[in-house]
Amino acid sequence: MKSKSFLPILAFALMTALFWGWKQWEGSLAPQAVAASPAFVDHMRHKGRLLVWQDARINIYTNRSDYKPLIENAFARWQSALEGAHPLGLNWVETPEEANLLIHFVDAIALPVQVDAQDRRGYIAGLTTPKAYNDKGLRQVVMQFALLNSGGLPQTRAVLDRVMLHEMGHALGLWGHSPNPYDVMNASYVKGLGDEKTETSLLQQGDVKLIKAVYAQAEAPQPLINKGISQVVALAKAEAEAHPTALSIWKYARSLRDATLLAEASVQYQKALAFGGINPPLYLEFVQCLERQARNADALAFLSEGLPKGYAQNGRLQLEKAYVLLKLKRPVEAKAVYDQALRLDAKLATSPVGRELAELLGE
């Protein structure tokens, strides 16, 4: 009888041990364990760099105005997560040409590659792709959402809400997935929750820490480069030295720029230009590299005197010149150059840089 009296105590002890064991296992997956670490933030890199929005306002266009509340809800959650770390605002525009973030709702998303041996392309609920970016960060992102599920039936509002929240995380700079199955940014977020009755989705602690860490690291000086980027730089250097051409040196300069080795990158850009140059993008990258080093006077001198004959008629280069003049606190000259750029290419007025300049100039 006495031995039986120990059974409830033993059972309680085992349950307690199992409970704390589960809590420790859960803790090992907890967002705070991985989300804010520099190593994990590196996982968020796209083509070797962190791509985030430097602009405080993101112009958004969608082909389905009835889904605007869905978009606004997802944006507001991430906006709240970044509060105090980086300002972000949403601004609706009427045409896709005006937009930094284009959001398309379609029946089904076509995947670019097959996913199995039977050449089936599988099913995907949402897809986000960075389309344009420069040294100042993201300039344009395209998002797609499938309105039909894998069975061809209308997707539920609850799933669309979750997909939108997940894809909005990508659009704001999280170009990867969290290993924590409870995070919104986990790859199986929608499938993993599976509760169709939930009307809204909530960011987890790991999601909040992750986006703050990504923006903090993207905006901080990066004196060191990670192993992956170092290998890219080494390969580009070897190619430029073995086969020195304007293109190979340009690629080497770009790899140095992406590794934030800006002084070395500037030297290589000048070497590429010494080969006679290739096209305006090379000149633009060189100027932006100078700007990132706060060498705005050098950038202006190059745009004013160092361009080959005819290149001064390139509207995009003149737009950058206006941007540099603003940085040098010469707004009157900046306005004149901005107007000249638009005369050369009227379409630049609706480009992200053109709209940013117009706002800064009070247009």
CATH code for the domain in which residue 298 is found = 1.25.40.10
**Does residue 271 belong to any structural domain of this protein?**
yes
pLDDT at 48: 63
pLDDT digits (tens, 9 = 90+) for 190-201: 554 444 444 446
Report the run of H or E that residue 171 belongs to, with start and end. Answer: helix 157-171
Tell me, yes or no, whether 86 and 207 share the same domain: yes
Nearest-CA neighbor of 158 among 212, 105, 196, 115? 196
**Does residue 272 belong to any structural domain of this protein?**
yes
Domain end, chosen from 162, 188, 219, is at 219
The answer to whether 334 touches 361, Cβ cutoff 8 Å, is yes
The answer to whether 289 touches 255, Cβ cutoff 8 Å, is no
**Does residue 145 belong to any structural domain of this protein?**
yes
d(CA 288, CA 324): 9
Structure tokens at 339: 């107007």
pLDDT at 225: 46
Statement: residue 42 has pLDDT above 70? no
pLDDT at 105: 95
Q: Which parts of 173-286 are beta strand (E)?
A: none
For 117, the domain range is: 34-219
pLDDT digits (tens, 9 = 90+) for 132-153: 877 678 889 999 999 998 888 9
**Does residue 147 belong to any structural domain of this protein?**
yes
Tell me, yes or no, whether 231 and 199 share the same domain: no
Domain end, chosen from 153, 187, 219, is at 219
Tell me, yes or no, whether 203 and 237 share the same domain: no
Contacts of 230 (CB under 8 A, 6+ apart): 259
d(CA 156, CA 150): 12
d(CA 316, CA 164): 34
Tell me, yes or no, whether 90 and 213 share the same domain: yes
What's the mean pLDDT when you consider all of the chain? Answer: 79
Tell me, yes or no, whether 56 and 203 share the same domain: yes
Tell me, yes or no, whether 250 and 352 share the same domain: yes
**Does residue 98 belong to any structural domain of this protein?**
yes
d(CA 310, CA 297): 22
CATH code for the domain in which residue 71 is found = 3.40.390.10
Of the candidate ranges 17-26, 76-85, 131-140, the one whose mean pLDDT is the lowest: 17-26
Tell me, yes or no, whether 175 and 43 share the same domain: yes
Nearest-CA neighbor of 138 among 207, 44, 269, 72? 44
Tell me, yes or no, whether 111 and 234 share the same domain: no
Report the run of H or E that residue 105 belongs to, with start and end. Answer: strand 101-106
The answer to whether 107 touches 65, Cβ cutoff 8 Å, is no
Nearest-CA neighbor of 92 among 125, 129, 127, 67? 67
Statement: residue 13 has pLDDT above 90? no
Domain end, chosen from 195, 219, 243, is at 219
Q: In DSSP terms, which residues pair with 141 in a beta bridge?
A: 101, 130
Greater confidence (351 vs 278) lies with 351
Tell me, yes or no, whether 204 and 238 share the same domain: no
pLDDT at 278: 66
Residue with tokens 């599920």: 149
**Does residue 5 belong to any structural domain of this protein?**
no
pLDDT at 28: 34
**Does residue 29 belong to any structural domain of this protein?**
no
Q: In DSSP terms, which residues pair with 138 in a beta bridge?
A: 133
Statement: residue 97 has pLDDT above 60? yes
> How many CB atoms neighbour CB 2 within 10 A?
5
Statement: residue 223 has pLDDT above 70? no
Statement: residue 210 has pLDDT above 60? yes
Domain count, the chain: 2
Tell me, yes or no, whether 107 and 208 share the same domain: yes
Q: 3-state DSSP call for residue 350?
A: helix
d(CA 225, CA 49): 10
Tell me, yes or no, whether 176 and 286 share the same domain: no
**Does residue 21 belong to any structural domain of this protein?**
no
Q: In DSSP terms, which residues pair with 356 in a beta bridge?
A: none
Q: Convert 269-308 into a string of H (helix), E (strand) and C (coil).
A: HHHHHHCCCCCHHHHHHHHHHHHHCCCHHHHHHHHHHHCC
Tell me, yes or no, whether 158 and 63 share the same domain: yes
Report the run of H or E that residue 128 belongs to, with start and end. Answer: strand 126-134
Segment 76-85 shows an average pLDDT of 89
Segment 10-26 shows an average pLDDT of 37
